[in-house]
Amino acid sequence: MHNIKPKVTLVGAGPGDPDLLTLKGAKALAEANVVLYDALANEEILAYAPKNAIRIFVGKKIGNHAYTQDQINQLIVDNALTYGNVVRLKGGDPFIFGRGSEEIEFIESFGIETIVVPGISSVVAVPASQGISITKRGVSESFWAITGTTSDRKLSADIALSAKSSATVVILMGMHKLLQIIDLFQKENKGDLPVAIIQNGTTKDEKLGVGTVNSILEIVKDKKLSSPAIIVLGEVVRQSNKLKGFYEEFLSKEIIR
């Protein structure tokens, strides 16, 4: 026990497809004595850890929080001091809406070595899987990545600001506030702005709804779309080769009307 050297590696698991885990992430898991993991889109990723590694689920789902954030922080430290090499596995990228920096600060306050392995963020990867380039020359010069629900369970004030811009807007954790989000864009006279909602992106359970600000609520209802999903608003959605056929059909119906 005296030879144990505590170390914590914070690993981003990517957007859901296990093949989108980075090589560095897989190597870190292969050396883990303990893995503390979130509610991952794909638990196949845990297979990269040794069979005898301790696996602890600490994820948060709506209405089901296995541990508070303070408890998770303490669990990471306790396991590192007891077992040595801990991997903290988080979906997407741990520093994009993942509280990774909070965990790192707490762990380092105990003098424990930390390493961060970035993950492929769903902010970029999920739209890309549908052929949506969130920036495109002549169409969109920038993008907003916004959490739909803040830590106090309110709608982010940044969404109202983003609705005024010409940038692509990518919203995570926003499905429960979709009506409010749509209302903000309609107030900016953006009813015809293309919207894509991608549920369980990059996984075998992926579902897609495509429309405009004015039509997307009906499409969500028809397709029974729900969390976890990413909302993409912007002209780049119309530019996707995969979605081109839908928008051509949609626009032709509008002209007939």
**DSSP secondary structure string for all residues of the chain:** -TT---EEEEEE-BSS-GGGS-HHHHHHHHT-SEEEE-S-S-GGGGGGS-TTSEEEE--EETTEESS-HHHHHHHHHHHHHHHSEEEEEESB-TTSSS-HHHHHHHHHTTT-EEEEE----HHHHHHHHTT--SSBTTTBS-EEEEESB-TTSPBPTHHHHHHTSSSEEEEES-GGGHHHHHHHHHHTT-TT-EEEEEESTTSTT-EEEEEETTTHHHHHHHHT--SSEEEEESHHHHH-TTTHHHHHHHHHHHHH-
Residues with catalytic roles: 38, 60, 173
Measured in Å, how far apart are the chain's first and last C-alpha atoms? 75
CA quadruple 60, 62, 66, 69: dihedral, nearest 10 = 50
**Which residues are paired to 60 by β-bridges?**
65
